Structure formats: structure tokens, C-alpha cells
Amino acid sequence: MNVAAGQQKRFLSIHEYLSMELLQKQGIKTPRGGVAKTGAEAYEIAQKLGTEDMVIKAQVLAGGRGKGTFDSGLKGGVRTIFSPREAQMFAEQMLGHKLVTKQTGAGGKICNSVYICERQYVRREYYFAVLMDRKSQGPVMVASSQGGVDIESVAAENPEAILQLPIDINKGVDRAAVRDLAERMGFTPKCVDQATDTMINLYDLFMQKDATMVEINPMAESSDHEVICMDAKINFDDNADFRQKEVHALRDVTQEDPREVAAAKYNLNYIGLDGSIGCLVNGAGLAMSTMDIIKLHGGEPANFLDVGGGATADQVTEAFKIISSDPRVTTIFTNIFGGIMSCRVIAQGIIAAASTLQLQIPLVVRLQGTEVDEAKKLIAESGLRIICSDDLDDAASKSVKLSQMVSMARDAKINVSFELPI
């Protein structure tokens, strides 16, 4: 389980072909190519490229595509192709199918489009990225002479091969320093100035679009001494969506957890996990503590869900819908400390959710703080069998035990339901 403490951080990631389009608009050279959503479109794009050397890439937001496997049986989400007919054939085996890679999990991710581009034969491949760096508290250029491979492996096996250039965000880019970086990366003298321009343009893109990462792997030097960005991965700061509407309109929600997409619509902070106890909590710190105490009692949380300090009863109801939509959830544990948040509002949401969703799993509630007595009265008068506890340790213990009961019944294929209405 890996959840960022303090606050939830989400970075928009867009498909490779969209990243390439942004690079091209910035004046950065990339291989010629186009995106297709049908086999016929793939054939047409390959024909227009006018070359026999091409690559077709499944547009799935996950690493390891080349070694992935489709549920159609096709192996490899990145394939070399040599004719429009092959482009159509592979496109039809990729489109509409799920690609399973080392990063997608067993469920895989759906492929709705393919990117077909010319295949470049290059002299050398490099790695280049612009990232936000905690240590220098600003952007940093990260580069290596070893591109086209897993950069994490390079960093682990040969850390000296990783070069860094911190950028003072107030002063901007020092061209001489970037040129020195290009020389240390190993670009030939004929390419150094072009590589310098390319890296500065990538930094400008990073800043202009509120990116959190611009990664080019590989950045290549062609046989005729041109610098080409062969592949691109760009992430953007979700906190800047109010001023980057055009970029955030490129989001592909089919690549995201549908529960997280639904939560975002109601301004709920949700991250799906692998456990069986659904958690509804206010405040990231309390949410982390709740997950810890569940694990302390031998349980596993099914999610991180922070309703925040200003949630409404409708938001609480939606939160219950999202939690209960996970078939692995066997118990829901609500833990609220009312400061800014009113326990009465939470109680109204709990009652509405329990009444309308026909929950058939145990619901454990712990409420403390603002208007807690009013909240307890509402729950008591609701006529619903909600298990209440004032003590966090006791509430967590009950949640784990009830979850184990439901899990045991499911394993034994015994249909046990917990009806909340009396």
C-alpha cells in the first residue's frame, strides 16, 4: 500500500501521440506519424507515411507496453511493421482489447487507439527529462548518455551515468550550462547546438504547460546529425487545471480507475487499494491513521477516501456508492472527527446512503466532534442497524472481525447478508 501522506497528489498523464503533438507545436523534431482508432484508419496512415519501415504502438497509459500481452493473444504493444496491410492487421488485434503490462495489473488497460510512426535508424540514443526536484526545490534537467533503456536500472547500476542540472526558476535557463550538459551527454559537435535548443524548448514546454514531468526516452541523434525526440511522456499538475483547460481536456478517463473518476466529479479524494474494509474518513491524516489501525487489527483497507472538511450529505452518499461498488469490500468503516465538518451532515449522508443503496454488508461508524450528539440521535432514530462506537480501537476491531465473518461466508459460498433496515 502506497498512499502519499498529507495530501492526495494526482498528475494528469496523456497518451504518447498527444505528447508528440505538443512537442511538434513547440518546434521540436519528432518522427512523422498519426493516430488511428480503426484498422482502416491505420491502413490509411501507414499508406500516407510512404515508407516500409514503421512502428505501431498501442496507446495505453502504462509502462512496459513492448513486453505486454493483449487479451486477444497478441504479444507486444509496440511492433515493427512493413506495410499498410500489417498496420491494419496489428491495429485490429490491439484496438478494443486490454493490454496487460508490468504496470497495469492483471486487469490490463483498454487500447482505444494506436500510434503509427516512421521507424528511425539512429546513431545514438540518450535520455532526457525535466522534473520537479524536492532537493533543489525547483525544476531539474536529468540526462544520460544511456537512452532507450529503463532509466531506473541505469541509475541503480551506474549512478555516474545520470547527469543533473538544477534550474533556478526565477532566473530561467542558462544556455551555456545546457550546452555543457549536451556535451557531457555525448552529442557530437555537429549536434550540440541543436540538442541545446531542443532541451531548452522542452524546458519551456514544461513551464508553459504546468508539467510535473517531461520525459524523452530516447532522445536520438540521427545518421544525418539531427536531434529527434523518439518517444515522449508528459505529466501535468492537476492543481493547474483551471489555467490549463486545453491540456486537461486531453485526459482519457478510460485509462483511469472508474471509482477515482467518479470520486473526482464530487471532489472526493479517493484511491483504490487491495483490501476488504472500505474507509470513509475526513482528513488525510485521520484517513492514514484509520488505515494503520485496521492493519494493526489484522485487516486490510480497501481504499483511501477523504471527504474533506466541507462535504455535504450528497457527497457522503456518493462516497458510499463508490466504496460499495467494489466487490471486494466486506465492511464499511466510517471514522469522522468533526472540526470544520459537522458530524450531523455525515450522519445525514450515512442514513441516506444506507436507505437508498440497500447495503448488505456491515456498516461501522465512529463519530466525534462538532454536533456529534445530534448525529448520534439521527442515527438512533433512523431505524437502521448501524454499528456505532465512540472508541477508535473498538470500532476498528469490530470492522475487522465483521469483515472476516463476511469473507469466511463468501469463501464457503454461503449467502450472508447484513440488512441494515430493521
Please identify every residue annotated as catalytic.
127, 215
DSSP H or E run through 58: strand 54-58
270 burial (CB, 10 Å; 0-12 / 13-18 / 19+) is: buried
Cα gap 258→325, rounded to integer Å:
10
Q: Name the grid cell of 129.
A: 527529462
Cα gap 30→104, rounded to integer Å:
27
The values of phi and psi at residue 330, to 5°, are -115, -15
Q: Which of 286, 285, 291, 338 is nearest to 311 (CA)?
A: 338
Cα gap 416→405, rounded to integer Å:
9
243 burial (CB, 10 Å; 0-12 / 13-18 / 19+) is: exposed
Cross-strand bridge partners of residue 36: 114
DSSP 76: -
CB atoms near residue 290 (< 10 Å): 26
Chain position carrying cell 493547474: 240
The answer to whether the peptide bond before residue 218 is cis (omega within 30 degrees of 0) is yes
